[in-house]
Amino acid sequence: MSEQMAEILATLGHVERLNVFRLLVRRYPQAVAAGELARVLGYKGSTLSVYLSVLRRAGLIHQDRAGNSLLYSADMHGAGGLLTYLFDDCCRGRIPGLVGDGSIIGASVENTHKFNALFICTGNSVRSIFAEAILRAEGRDRFDVFSAGTRPYSEINPMTLQVLRENGHTISDLRSKTIGEFQRFNSPRMDFVFTVCDQAADEECPTWPGQPITAHWGHPDPVKLEGPEAIKLMAFRETYQSLARRIRPFAQLSFNALDRASLQSKVDELGRLPLCA
């Protein structure tokens, strides 16, 4: 066991291999093509191939094939084994702030207050705005909901507003915002942070205070679809419906009956749902 754990630690002790693993964790449970990993991280294909091989050998990532493409995803069981070893065996349960099962102390979510939820994408013009509006409608008694973009400036796409009106949402108080609004000392403390586009998940964001539950529910950007206006509008509607398929069951979870690990598992399961019904 010690030799196996030492190999994992040595694997993650290399900063560029660590960068690969951290990106796959941010995109979890999504699998990412090797070419996309190389592009996002700026690594040569041959170099990345070596890193992926080492990470696979250490049991930290999975490899799958889709057609001619190799797809990679984080193996959270492998990472969990390392943490369990460090806590229970190596440190004999003496790491401050953790309990024996690896959960954060006090992480049992009590249903005694409204939760703060933040949806992030690059532009805050379509997907995160959809998500904000949907969760506001579905969980108005349980959530205060926000959205933001990683770009310095953006505007809500007119087709976003059209689809929201079609689905009966109030749009008067929706606006495009940047992530900086929620990283100030007096910003609301988030209980949940979701990325809804791959590019936002790829970016290195500061750690959120309070250790919120995080998840990646990536959706393609309907703005990038080329074609007639009717085809584009259909893509916006499909994006809305795909987000709603995740957000509606999320809003109905029994938060007071779930510990942190169970809740994280639930939101990751929702991230695995196919984009279209």
Same domain, 69 and 131: no
Same domain, 78 and 127: no
Collapsing DSSP to helix, strand or coil, 63 comes out as strand
Same domain, 82 and 120: no
Mean pLDDT of the chain: 87
Residue 108 lies in a domain: no
Mean pLDDT within 247-255: 93
Mean pLDDT within 94-105: 47
User: Is 31 in contact with 64 (CB distance < 8 Å)?
Assistant: yes
Same domain, 127 and 67: no
Domain with 187, as residue range(s), is 115-271
Model confidence at 97, in pLDDT bands (50, 70, 90)?
low
Query: Comparing 139-153, 185-199, 205-219, which segment has the lowest mean pLDDT?
Result: 205-219
Quick check: 45 pLDDT over 80? yes
Same domain, 83 and 193: no
Same domain, 85 and 119: no
Quick check: 108 pLDDT over 80? no
Residue 248 lies in a domain: yes
Residue 105 lies in a domain: no
Task: Write down the pLDDT at residue 95.
Answer: 60
Across 14-114, the runs of DSSP E, i.e. the strands, are 32-33, 61-66, 69-74
Task: Write down the pLDDT at residue 82.
Answer: 82
Residue 107 lies in a domain: no
Quick check: 135 pLDDT over 70? yes
Same domain, 255 and 141: yes
Task: Write down the pLDDT at residue 109.
Answer: 46
Task: Write down the pLDDT at residue 99.
Answer: 47
pLDDT per position as a tens digit, 207-246: 788 789 999 999 999 998 988 999 999 999 999 999 999 9
Contacts of 251 (CB under 8 A, 6+ apart): 135, 138, 139, 142, 143
User: Burial, 147: exposed, middle or buried (Cβ in 10 Å; 0-12, 13-18, 19+)?
Assistant: buried
Same domain, 170 and 240: yes
- Supply the residues annotated as catalytic: 121, 197, 205
CATH of the domain at 138: 3.40.50.2300
Alpha carbons within 13 angstroms on the beta-carbon side of residue 41 total 25
Task: Write down the pLDDT at residue 112.
Answer: 53
Same domain, 126 and 259: yes
Q: How many domains does the chain have?
A: 2
Residue 102 lies in a domain: no
Domain end point (choices 34, 56, 90): 90
CA dist 40 and 31 (Å) reads 14
Amino acid at 9: L
Q: State the pTM of this model.
A: 0.79
Residue 277 lies in a domain: no
Same domain, 53 and 147: no
Same domain, 83 and 201: no
CATH of the domain at 63: 1.10.10.10
Residue 101 lies in a domain: no
Task: Write down the pLDDT at residue 80.
Answer: 81
Q: How many residues does the chain have?
A: 277
Task: Write down the pLDDT at residue 103.
Answer: 42
Same domain, 181 and 264: yes
Residue 84 or residue 227, greater confidence: 227
Rg (CA), the chain: 20
Residue 224 lies in a domain: yes
